[in-house]
Amino acid sequence: MPVTRAAGFLFVNIFGSLTGPVFYGILSDRIGRRQAFVAFLICQAINAAIYMFVPLSPTIILILGYFLGAFQGGLASGLVPSFSELYPTELRANGSSFCASVGRGVASIVPGMVGILSVQLTLPVAMGCAPSHPTSSASSPRCCCATRQVSTCARSIARARRRQCRLSARQI
């Protein structure tokens, strides 16, 4: 792909990441932060799955690129307020900062690893969202599907919220 064409795709993605937080804010005001966060996670998982598993024309990739950036920008803007609700007041800054920093550190390795693996494997397999062997089942431990990641995240948020409620009840 020529640099000029790649720059156009990147521009659309960056424009999406500028508008995504605005849409996230509007949605979170209407339905709540947690529901908006889960909705954006689900939409991002669907968008990523379409990118990986459906043959797309350049026009559709361009359109989906906007939504990829918008959902990612919205999730990034909603992460800090959502994390701060998971911890008691005295641990709030340390807990959310630690999780965000470790998450960024681990996530910084992923793009390079996907690039290295995609030389030998298909993109869905390199990203860990498809079985690496045709006879592997979707429930095998080697398959880390986006829907499984979303449900795990939602369960973790719910567990942390219940734990916080129990801690608050003990203080009363």
pLDDT means per 10 residues, the chain with 172 residues, are 72 91 94 90 89 83 90 87 77 78 80 79 68 46 46 60 58 55
pLDDT value of position 10: 86
53 vs 8: CA distance, rounded Å: 23
For 101-147, give the DSSP string. HHHHHHHTTHHHHHHHHHTTS-HHHHTT-S-SSTT--TTSTT---HH
**132 touches 111 (CB < 8 A):** no
The encoded tokens of residue 82 equal 């959502």
pLDDT value of position 135: 44
Quick one: how far is CA 12 from the chain centroid?
19
* Sequence-separated contacts (24+) of 9-14 with Cβ below 8 Å: 9/61, 9/62, 9/65, 12/62, 12/65, 12/66, 12/69, 13/65, 13/66, 13/68, 13/69, 14/69
83 vs 101: CA distance, rounded Å: 12
pLDDT value of position 67: 93
pLDDT value of position 137: 44
pLDDT value of position 39: 92
Domains present along the chain, CATH in parentheses: 3-171 (1.20.1250.20)
**83 touches 100 (CB < 8 A):** yes
